[in-house]
Amino acid sequence: MSRNTNQIEKPKGPIMNADRLAVEWLRCQRRRVGVLAIALTVCGAIGLVPQIVKSDVVVVAVAQGLRTGDLKGKPVLNEKNERIGTIDDLIIGKDRVLFGILQVGGFLGIGSHFVAVPYQSLQIDEAPTKIVLPGASKEVLKNLPEFKYHA
């Protein structure tokens, strides 16, 4: 039998299956890229272009900050070292201003009420073991408008 040397023999067996898998995998990848390109084009057309968020935050410095859990329940003193209230919570206003919610008046939580003071007015040491509200007294805080949590 004479053999035609001009024709290349097609591989048979496992090699042929591997080639088919590779070709199918490439086709699948091309489809994925095509679908992604279409999705990005549509998103761009309607103004939903994905943006890369760039942050200049120094995470090491942030990690050394105060946690709200470390402040809740801590006594608040005035500059005369008199206890004038307790930190109940911290709240961020809609204008992104931070407030300390203090529980003032009463005895063991009975007869007390809450007031909001700007967080910047609180002087907090690094531990935090001492929180001071300069110029405050129990009477001044009792006369502030009562803060009520919304439901």
What are 33-76's pLDDT values in tens digits? 666 667 667 666 666 666 666 677 777 777 888 888 889 999 99
pTM: 0.60
pLDDT of residue 79 exceeding 70, the answer is yes
Contacts of 91 (CB under 8 A, 6+ apart): 98, 99, 101, 116
Measure the N-to-C terminal CA separation of the chain; round to a whole number of Å.
Answer: 94
Q: Which residue has the higher pLDDT, 81 or 41?
A: 81
Residue ranges making up the domain that contains 97: 66-142
Q: What pLDDT does residue 6 have?
A: 58
SS3 assignment, position 129:
coil
Buried b (16+ CB within 10 A) or exposed e, 133-142: beebeeeebb
Q: Is there a domain that residue 61 lies in?
A: no
111 shares a domain with 43: no
Tokens of 129: 């073991």
pLDDT band at 129 (very low <50, low <70, confident <90, very high): confident
Report the distance separating Cα 70 and Cα 129, nearest Å. Answer: 9
Q: Which of 74-78, 91-95, 125-129, 131-135 has the lowest mean pLDDT?
A: 125-129
Neighbours of 106 (CB within 10 A): 12
- How large is the average pLDDT for residues 118-130? 88
Within a domain: 97: yes
Residue 117 lies in a domain: yes
Q: How far apart are CA 51 and CA 56, in angstroms?
A: 16
**38-42, 118-122, 141-145: lowest mean pLDDT where?**
38-42
Q: State whether 134 and 75 are in the same domain.
A: yes
